[in-house]
Amino acid sequence: MIHKIFRQTCRITLATCVLLAPLVRAQEHLIEVLADKDSRYKIAGERTPEITVKAGQQLLLRINARKAKTWNRDGSVHGFSLLRAKDRSKVPGWDLLLKPGTQEFHLTAPSEAGEYVVVCTVICSEEHEGMTMKFIVTP
């Protein structure tokens, strides 16, 4: 009897997880970025691209990368690394290399509110140094 109830409970729990998984994914905040061939990050509808997220928020980062003038041996055409603005220190888990085309990353926003900066880590052209974007984390 106990076993039967236990088995039943497990089955219900498992079913709940399977049913809720897509909903949890749907809670992710979608950010779409173009890492363009002119060595600039672009966001549709924004003259100066900027990303604003909430601390600890679940994010789905969808990046379309276009090859610029030069790229890495491994085929990466741009990078997307997040640094703390105050000391330029890297945020763990946010050191991404981009291949040509669209790619998605499931990430968690930094837990500390403040100003961050996105930088390209691939020498993609003589304009590479200017390939940066403001990234704000709100409490």
In sequence order, what DSSP letters do the residues of 60-121 get, joined into one string? EEEEEE---S---TTS--EEEEEEETTT-PEEEEEEEEE-SEEEEEEEE--SS-EEEEEE--
78 binds Cu ion (CB under 5 A): yes
Residue 120 in the binding site for Cu ion (CB under 5 A): yes
Q: Is 133 in the site for Cu ion (CB under 5 A)?
A: no
Confirm or reject binding of residue 65 to Cu ion (CB under 5 A).
Answer: no
Nearer to Cu ion, 9 or 102 (CB): 102
CA distance 102 to 10: 39
Q: Which of 63, 96, 131, 137: binder of Cu ion (CB under 5 A)?
A: 131
Q: How far is the CB of 131 from Cu ion (least distance, A)?
A: 4
Q: Which of residues 29-48 bind Cu ion (CB under 5 A)?
A: 39
Listed ranges 1-9, 18-26, 41-49, 130-138: which one lies at the site for Cu ion (CB under 5 A):
130-138
Interface residue with Cu ion, options 124, 133, 135, 137 (CB under 5 A): 124
Q: Is 63 in the site for Cu ion (CB under 5 A)?
A: no
Amino acid occupying residue 84: R
Residues 80-119 that bind Cu ion (CB under 5 A): none
The label of the residue with tokens 């994010």 reads 59
Total residues binding Cu ion (CB under 5 A): 5
In eight-state DSSP terms, residue 46 is B
Q: How far apart are CA 22 and CA 1, in angstroms?
A: 33
Taking alpha carbons only, the member of 62, 20, 57, 27 closest to residue 43 is 62
Residues that bind Cu ion (CB under 5 A): 39, 78, 120, 124, 131
